[in-house]
Structure formats: structure tokens, C-alpha cells
Amino acid sequence: MLRNLLVIGVLVIVLTCTVSGQQRPVAFINARIIPIVGAPIEQGVLIIQNGKITAIGDARTVRLSSDVQTIDLAGKVIMPGLVDTHSHIGGPAGADSTAPIQPDVRILDSLNPRALSIQRAQAGGITTANVMPGSGHLDSGQTLYLKLRDDPVKIDDLLILDKNGKYMGGIKFANGTNSIRSGGGSFPGTRAKSAALVREQFIKAQEYRDKISKAGSDKTKLPPRDLAMEALVEVLDGQRTVHFHTHRHDDIVTALRLSKEFGFRIVLQHVSEAWKVADEIAKAKAPSSIIMIDAPGGKLETMDVDYKNGAALEKAGALAGFHTDDGVTDSRWFLRSAGLAVRAGMSREKALYGMTMANAVMLELQDRIGSLEVGKDADVIVLSGDPLSVYTHVEQTWIEGKKVFDRSDPKDRVYATGGKGASDDGDAHSDIHCFDGDLGGGN
Amino acid sequence: MLKVKGKKAKFVLTAMLLLISGFCLMPTAYGQLAVKGETVWTMAGEPIKDGVVLINGGKIEKVGPASSTQIPPNYRVLSAKVVTPGLIDAHTVIGLNGYLNQPHDQMALDGGASFQPELRATDAYNAEEKLVEVVRQYGITTIHTGHQPGALVSGQTMIAKTWGKNVDEATIVPTAMIAVTLGSGANASGRSPGTRAKQVSMLRAELIKAQENEAKTEKAKDLKSLIMARVIKREIPLLITAEAAQDISTALRIAKEFNIRIVLDGAADGHLIANEIKASGFPVIVHATMARPGGDRANLSVENALKLRAAGIPIALQSGYESYVPKTRIVLFEAAMAAANGLSQRDALASITIDAAKLLGIDSRVGSIAVGKDADIAMYDGDPFEFTSHCTGTIINGVVVSEVIK
């Protein structure tokens, strides 16, 4: 029954397209498909058209129409495009050094859409990224959810729009030592002060919101516009997710406490010591975005960072995904995160979910990306082999039905391997200060 | 007092005695071990299927196929899917730099002056540093470590085993090389050098001074002169970190002018001037495969090791110096990424075993599983390069130093 419906469905779609003269459908055939939602399909067929997935299934169930353009991917593996919940590609900078909390600044106004770091991220199979300002502030500004589309003329060409046509993004917060500055004027000197300063601003935002709602339709009673307060009100109203940089177990719990107190939507970022408080994270139903670092330390609050965070969060029943924090780790090797998580005990399924669907959920894009399902964006990567093997390369990256990276094209290949022309735009790590501030520019 | 009563108590007592004797023996005694591997990469020939390595007195006693290698009855038997020689990290700074990244544990660079060849790595090496333990758990048994890049001449390097309670137990070569940096990393703030030309001028002046000193009958005996004399006499090489092509060429030019030995380090642009490097005859310790591109490393390629090796240049791989995170890279992972990008599995493994040993001049002791060599062994439950494989044990000088599943 289901099989028949699928066949009919595909036929209907194909017919419709022929009639309306839309883009020719493309069918990826003979690959092993890992749809993330649903079981892997050994000899799969994936059909995309007009930027969307129109059919997915087994070679025996999905029929190909006569006008379909087929791409034979025998021996290859197809997955959804990877979603990076924490990146600094495009050399963005958010808050300046004048204050510890700056919700008004936007990555929208800062990112270079033509940066080669974006090309390199495509080469790593990343199709969607949350690009953020750094962690040298309690709040360093508004983040931006981007599709890494090809040939952008301006930043607008990379934006993801919500139902109301508004570009999507979150806001970056941080606790722990990065935002603490001894003798730093308005900056905090302790962890308690850090939390107090954040609490103070959210209380102000609550009052600002109350004034607006009291004013009702009487515009004369509206408070003067305040860009910082407007952003924080969006946070209070659940329209803007807080991406909370946090490493040590007690800092993680503090972030959860603030989230509960003000009712904001949170994604815990980095979570170096998640394995110590996995049950608390699960109980709070907070998602975690994990960074995978090859050795402990680098700073005191990450002395116990461990590959086992993924396994610990999975065991606790918490939603967990991974991020690059590019250039702290390199977008080109993002799939390594899943491999190393499995090394440390995470299940294969959850590790791959943590590269895709879990991250789509964290960015509230679960209806559009993160899995290969009919109706979703045609964000697809083609791999030379198993996604968890070191020997596997990303061979193709497709975003919304358009191929944006092809390893067999020498121009693209250099973005994957490095070499002359891969990173000469000077952006390689110009403004990385998220995991900390020592790699590049100031805080 | 312990009351001995009945069978149970006797058993407990025996167990305790065994435990105590076990603890006493473990760290010091050279055990008799047999390591069985479904694949044994000896790096002294083709890998052996179903091989056995016998270890006695801290040395390799015998290696061969299980069918023809009898395991004596009193040997402790360890088994693994894949057995390799203990891995060698051809250039790191761990032990001098620690994992906390606090001022008290960052000892690989003194910012006080630009020319300090007299600084000895052995005066700074902390054998019990956490990062030494971390790399040991991945099967790395030998490290070439020391002063980091970041000054024209930052100090000496040394070679150590990743074990021991102190530097004396760990050290196998106290002064291996002198760390030199050329390019943007060598510039100092507030003093010279401030340009590439100045760097070379200063370095040449020091080498000329050392040459002149060597020609004197009454030689200067200050610490700088003593160590530089060893460079002029070709006893120890300069380890010249040079990433950009122009800096690599400069390093080769200086080596020729003064007839000294050098080892090129990093060499991100190496693949662009492989012929020139090959003609010089000098080896390259290639940057970490996953090192970040940018700056002097703008042209960094994951295929650099492959291309240099293909050009006939002796190479080894390294974890390198990291200022932040990861505080150290794991050279096993860097070799794995090189293997994923064209280097054959054998050549990638060689770059962290026998080829590294040859480059460092320690191949008579380590780098392969051969009779008479140090019993340094790494064990894995699958292809050592795969993300999902684990190191299951590490042996140094015939002692099992790690059995953590890592």
C-alpha cells in the first residue's frame, strides 16, 4: 500500500513538473542512503527538484520518470547536509570592548559572505551553520543561521528566512573565564558577578516588555526604542534562542538556572564537562552542542574535556549534537566529531543524528533540514564511504538542489585539501575567540 | 593485627601478598611479555599476519609468525588486533608546555631575548605532565620535544620516552637540536628582529661568530659559544621552523653558507618547492596534517607529506606546537589524516615510527619491532588510524605503561 502510494506520488510529482515546466528532477541512484530519520537504505533512490526532496526510498519502490536526470552513485553514501550549530566562518566580530553585555550587535552586519572559510565549510559537508560572535563577553551579540549557498553577492544571499520572512538567528551568551576580566571595568571579575550582570539585564528586559504591553495601542506610552532591550525581549518571548558558551560543570548548571529563571530557550554550547552533569542537563531538557578537542586543557575550565560527552548525554537521554567552533576545529573535518564520539561510546545512530537532525532541532529548523525526508530542503552530501571512517571524503555538497562543492572539480578540491588559494583571504582565524580568545583577534 | 583463620583468610592474605609483589614489580622490573597481534607492523619488513613479539629484559627478544614463534610458559601474554612499534612524535613541546596553559606550566619559550641556544630542554621537561600521559595512552612512546617556535632561536630540544618519574629516567637524547624560527613567527615586539631580513642577518652574525670562535686556539667557553660550536662542528642540527617558501629557501641558503646540518620543520609551502628541498638533501618534519591554515601557512595542504615523500625527501610527521586548544595534537591522528589524503597506510605509519626514528637519529633503538631494539609497542583493536579504533595498550622498554582503552 505504502509502496504504491510512493510510486504514485513520485509519478504525480514528475508529471506536475513536466506540465508546469519546472526544473528537471535529479535522482541520486544506487547509493547507500542514511536518511537519519528512518533506517538506512542500501540501494537507495533520492529525487530532488526545485530545491526540495521529492522522493526517497528503495530502488525497487521509487520509480524514475523519463525526464529525470540520474546520477549514479554506486558505492557512495548519501546523508543530509551537516548542520554546524557553532561556527565563526566568514570572520565575524560582534561586541566591542566597551561593555560585557551587547545584545544589540548583529553578526548580520559583520560577516564576509565571500570568505573562503565558507567554501572550506562546504568542502566539509556543512550546509547550514549558526555563525556566532565570540565568548569574551557575557553576551557578544546576535548570531546568524546561514545556508552556505554558492556565489553570494551579499549576506542576504545566505540568510534563512522564517515563516514571516524574517532572517533567523539566536544570541550568544557565555559564562566561565572567557568573559571574566580582572580589573576589567564594567566586565565581571567573578562567576557570581557574571550571573548577576546577566540577571540584571533580563530583569530590565522584563520591565521593558511590561512597558510595551501596558502601552497597548497608545504609542505615546511606549518606552524609547532600545536595541539591546528589543533583542532580549525576543529572548524572553522565546523568539531568539540563547546559545550559551559554557564549559565547567558548575557553569553549565548556572546557565540552566538562568534559563529556567527567565524562561528562555537555551542551547548549551561546548559543554566540556557535560559528562559530569549529564543527568541535570537531561532533566532540564536542554540540548547540548558538543565540541570535540583532541587533548584536555588549553585553559583551566576545560581540563576535564572528554570525547565521552556524547555517550554520556545519550545515556542520560539528552539531545546532543556537535559543532566545529571553526577555526578552533576545522569545518573540513567536521565528520570527525561523530567518529570520535563513537570511539568514546556513543551509538553510531545518535552520533550521526548529532551531526544533522539534533542540530536542526537546536536551530528550530527541524521541519526544513537535518534529515532526508520528502518536502525538506535538498541539502545533501555524497560521501566516498562510511561517514565514521577517517578514509572517507565528502565528494559532493548540495544545497537546496544546487551542487556547491564537487571534489572532482580541481577548483573545489583545493578547498578540501588546502594548498595555494585555499585560504589566502586572510580570514583563516582572524576573529576566533569563542572557545577562548588566544587564537586570533582580541575579545 | 591481622587474624589468620580458615581458608578464606588464607586466600585473602595470599591475594594481598600477590598484589603487593605485583605493585612492587610493575614499575621497575622488565617483564617477560609476549604480544600477539592479528597484524604486526614491524616496520622492518612486511607486516606479519598472526604474529608474536617476545619481550625480555626491556628489549625485543624475538618477532615472527605465531606458527613458528614459541611463547615460553612464564611469559605474560597480551593480545591485540593490530600491533605496531611504539609511535614517535617527531616534534612536540609537551613536557615543557603543560595542559593547563597557565604561566607556570608554559616553559617552552622565554620571551626575554631572540637568541638563546643555551636554553636546555632537559632543564624544563616535566616527565609527569598530563599531556605526556595523554599521548602515551594513544601508543606514543617517544617524543622529540623542547623549546617552541616563536623566537629566532628559542633553545634546545631533547628526545624522551613518554615514561619515567623524572627527566633523567625519560631522556634518551638530552640535546637533540637547536630550535630556530624564520618568518613572521620569529619577529619580536620592541626589539629585533622585526623583519625577515633582520632575522637572517642576526642568525648569520651568530653563525659567523661561532665559526670564528671555532678557529681560535683559545675558544670562548660561555654557554652560547659552547652549544653553537656543536652546530658548526655538525654534531647537532638546527631545527628550522619555516612555513613560507621564501623562509624554506632561506633556511637552505644558510645551511649551505655555513655547511651546517639542518632539519626543516613545518614547511607548509614545501609542496611548492619540493625539488629545491630534495636537492638540498635535508629532511622535513612536516606540520601537523590538520594544522590550521593562514598566515605563513596560507598554502598549507593535507597532501604536503605525501608530495614531499613522493619527491624523495625524508619526512616525519609531528603534532607541533599549539598555543591553545588542543594543547597538544595527537600525532597518530595527524598521520591518520595524512593516510586519508593519499599517503599509503605503510608510509603514514612509517612517518610516526621508523622514518621518524631515522630522521631523529635514534633508529638503532626505536622505530621498528626488531630483535635487540627497545621493547616499545603500541596495541590497537583495529586499524590504528580509524576514528573508531582504540589504543588498548602501550609498552615502553618492556613495561606495560598503559592498558587504558583510548
**Phi and psi based region of residue B284 (left: phi greater than 0; alpha: psi -120 to 50; beta: remaining):** beta
Residue of B nearest to A387 (CA): B387
Please name the member of A298, A343, A419 whose beta carbon is closest to the beta carbon of B388.
Answer: A343
- Of A129-143, A176-190, B324-338, B379-393, the range with the lowest mean pLDDT is A176-190
The predicted pLDDT at position B377 comes to 98
The predicted pLDDT at position A21 comes to 52
Helix (H, G, I), strand (E, B) or coil at A134: coil
State how far the alpha carbon of A106 is from the alpha carbons of A131, A142, A226, in Å.
11, 5, 14
Placement of cell 637524547 in the chain: B173
Confidence band, pLDDT 50/70/90 cuts, at residue B314: very high
Confidence band, pLDDT 50/70/90 cuts, at residue A2: low
What mean pLDDT is predicted for residues B39-45?
98
Interchain CB distance below 8 Å, A419 and B299: yes
The predicted pLDDT at position B234 comes to 98
Cα distance between residue B139 and residue B260, in whole Å? 34
Interchain CB distance below 8 Å, A389 and B387: yes
- Of A182-191, A235-244, A252-261, B376-385, the range with the lowest mean pLDDT is A182-191
**Looking at B234-295, which runs of residues are DSSP E strands?**
238-242, 262-266, 284-286
CA end-to-end span of chain B: 42
Question: Mean pLDDT for chain A?
Answer: 92
Which one of B106, B131, B296, B325 makes the best mutation probe of the A interface by having the most chain A beta carbons within 10 Å?
B325
Check pLDDT > 70 for residue B5.
no
Contact list in B for residue A389 (CB cut-off 8 A) is 386-388
Interchain CB distance below 8 Å, B327 and A303: no
Confidence band, pLDDT 50/70/90 cuts, at residue A4: low
**Phi and psi based region of residue B338 (left: phi greater than 0; alpha: psi -120 to 50; beta: remaining):** alpha
Helix (H, G, I), strand (E, B) or coil at B90: strand
Interchain CB distance below 8 Å, A417 and B301: yes
Check pLDDT > 70 for residue B246.
yes
- Of A11-20, A96-105, A183-192, the range with the lowest mean pLDDT is A11-20
Phi and psi at residue A269, to the nearest 5°: -110, 135
Distance from CA of A52 to the nearest CA of B (A): 32
Closest-CA residue to B285 (of B319, B251, B311): B319
Q: Residue A47 in contact with residue A59, Cβ under 8 Å?
A: no
Distance from CA of A333 to the nearest CA of B (A): 9
Q: Residue A96 in contact with residue A102, Cβ under 8 Å?
A: yes
Check pLDDT > 90 for residue A19.
no
Confidence band, pLDDT 50/70/90 cuts, at residue B288: very high
Cα distance between residue A116 and residue A89, in whole Å? 9
The predicted pLDDT at position B3 comes to 44
The 3-class SS string of A7-23 reads: HHHHHHHHHHHHHHCCC
Cα distance between residue A169 and residue B47, in whole Å? 53
**Structure ipTM:** 0.92
The predicted pLDDT at position A264 comes to 98
Cα distance between residue A382 and residue A403, in whole Å? 10
Please give the grid coordinates belonging to residue A68: 529525470
The predicted pLDDT at position A184 comes to 75
Residue of B nearest to A343 (CA): B388
CB pairs under 8 A between A and B: 126
Q: Residue B155 in contact with residue B110, Cβ under 8 Å?
A: yes
Distance from CA of A191 to the nearest CA of B (A): 19
Interchain CB distance below 8 Å, A300 and B102: yes
Please name the member of B100, B131, B341 whose beta carbon is closest to the beta carbon of A417.
Answer: B341
What mean pLDDT is predicted for residues B257-272?
98
Interchain CB distance below 8 Å, A294 and B328: yes
Placement of cell 566540556 in the chain: A272
Confidence band, pLDDT 50/70/90 cuts, at residue B4: very low
Please name the member of B299, B323, B388 whose beta carbon is closest to the beta carbon of A420.
Answer: B299
Please give the grid coordinates belonging to residue B243: 612555513
Cα distance between residue B388 and residue B380, in whole Å? 11
Contact list in A for residue B341 (CB cut-off 8 A) is 417
Interchain CB distance below 8 Å, B325 and A328: yes
Contact list in B for residue A326 (CB cut-off 8 A) is none
Between vectors from CA A141 to CA A139 and to CA A142, what angle results, nearest 5°?
A: 130
What mean pLDDT is predicted for residues A119-136?
97
Cα distance between residue A123 and residue A334, in whole Å? 10
Task: Give pLDDT tens digits for A47-56.
Answer: 999 999 999 9
DSSP string computed for B305-322: HHHHHHTT--EEE--B--
Torsion sign, CA atoms B60, B62, B67, B71: negative
The predicted pLDDT at position A423 comes to 84
Contact list in B for residue A394 (CB cut-off 8 A) is none
Between vectors from CA A123 to CA A118 and to CA A129, what angle results, nearest 5°?
A: 45
Please give the grid coordinates belonging to residue A300: 583551566
Name the DSSP letter for residue B97: B
Whether omega before A287 lies within 30 degrees of 0, making that bond cis, reads no
Task: Give pLDDT tens digits for B87-121.
Answer: 999 999 999 999 999 999 999 999 999 999 999 99
Interchain CB distance below 8 Å, B294 and A423: yes
Closest-CA residue to A10 (of A55, A50, A73, A66): A55
The predicted pLDDT at position A14 comes to 46
Please name the member of B292, B325, B341 whose beta carbon is closest to the beta carbon of A435.
Answer: B325
Task: Give pLDDT tens digits for A389-405.
Answer: 999 999 999 999 999 99
Interchain CB distance below 8 Å, A417 and B387: no
The predicted pLDDT at position B89 comes to 99
Measured CB to CB, residues of chain A less than 8 Å from chain B are: 293-300, 302-303, 327-328, 330, 333, 336, 339-340, 342-343, 388-393, 417-420, 422-424, 426-429, 435-436, 438-439
Q: Residue B400 in contact with residue B378, Cβ under 8 Å?
A: no
What mean pLDDT is predicted for residues A111-124?
97
The 3-class SS string of B350-367 reads: HCCCHHHHHHHCCCCCCC
Cα distance between residue B149 and residue B195, in whole Å? 16
Residue length of chain B? 406
Interchain CB distance below 8 Å, A297 and B299: no
Distance from CA of B274 to the nearest CA of A (A): 14
Contact list in A for residue B391 (CB cut-off 8 A) is none
Question: Mean pLDDT for chain B?
Answer: 94
The predicted pLDDT at position A443 comes to 26
Interchain CB distance below 8 Å, A333 and B337: yes
What mean pLDDT is predicted for residues A128-150?
97
Cβ neighbours around B155 below 10 Å, total? 24
Interchain CB distance below 8 Å, B386 and A302: no
Check pLDDT > 70 for residue A193.
yes
The predicted pLDDT at position A434 comes to 52
The predicted pLDDT at position A182 comes to 83
Q: Alpha helices, DSSP H only, in B176-273?
A: 196-215, 223-232, 245-258
Residue of B nearest to A294 (CA): B326
Task: Give pLDDT tens digits for A257-316.
Answer: 999 999 999 999 999 999 999 999 999 999 999 999 999 999 999 999 999 999 999 999
Check pLDDT > 80 for residue B28.
no
Q: H or E element: which one contains B399? A: strand B399-402
Which one of B132, B304, B322, B324 makes the best mutation probe of the A interface by having the most chain A beta carbons within 10 Å?
B324
Cα distance between residue A41 and residue A32, in whole Å? 6
* Cα diameter, chain B: 84
Interchain CB distance below 8 Å, B390 and A343: yes
Which one of B388, B390, B405, B406 makes the best mutation probe of the A interface by having the most chain A beta carbons within 10 Å?
B388
The predicted pLDDT at position A431 comes to 45
Confidence band, pLDDT 50/70/90 cuts, at residue B25: very low
**Looking at A275-401, which runs of residues are DSSP E strands?**
288-291, 320-323, 380-383, 394-399
Please give the grid coordinates belonging to residue A395: 565528494
